[in-house]
Amino acid sequence: MAQQKVSGATAAVVIGIALVVFVVVFGRSSLAPEDKPPFQLPPEPPVEQKELTAVRQGLEPLGISVVMPPLVEDRRRGVRVAAVKAGSVADAAGIQPGDLLVSFDGRPLMQPMNLVAAVNLAKPEAVCEVVLERDGEEMTVKVTGLVPLPPEELNRLVF
């Protein structure tokens, strides 16, 4: 019987050493999945300069710049406002940096180029409704005085 107790103790020591080696080799997160960071989509590929230029120029009538590439949490939800030009139609409507624009004149905004298209499809001087999210609350603002780009200038943008 004494020999069985020694074998059991030896087995326990071997298992303990194996567990320590496992933790050292594979790290603590392998044993504690609650410590893992939340899953996130991989970052988008870098944005090409011609796309950045097209978005910047296409949004001049509105007077805003947007976050490019979109933040992971904004993908397919809307377009995040990075800056608003003082005195612009967006400024007059109350759009602020950090707002998430969800739709423009009834058109859903899944990416910045959707916003460029919606802004430049608007009728000159029409009243356009913009649904946005600010601090977790959805609200609607009215944009007035918008003058879209002339067709020849719009055709130069890369869509």
Per-10-residue mean pLDDT, the chain, length 159 = 57 65 54 53 67 88 91 88 95 96 95 92 92 96 92 75
Q: Give the residue among 73, 90, 72 at the shortest CA–CA distance from 81.
A: 90
pLDDT score for 143:
95
pLDDT score for 11:
67
Q: Give the integer Cα–Cα distance in Å for 24 and 17.
A: 11
How many other C-beta atoms can be found within 10 angstroms of the C-beta atom of residue 127? 13
pLDDT score for 30:
46
List, for residues 63-107, the tens digit of each pLDDT value: 999 998 888 888 889 999 999 999 999 999 999 999 999 999 999
Q: Give the residue among 73, 78, 71 at the shortest CA–CA distance from 101.
A: 78
Q: Give the integer Cα–Cα distance in Å for 121 and 113.
A: 12
Per CATH, the number for 49-156 is 2.30.42.10
Q: Give the integer Cα–Cα distance in Å for 144 and 34.
A: 50
Using a cut of 0.75, tell me whether the model's pTM lies above it: no
Residue 19 in tokens:
């567990």
Residue 133 in tokens:
């999210």
Q: Where are the domains of the chain?
A: 2-35, 49-156
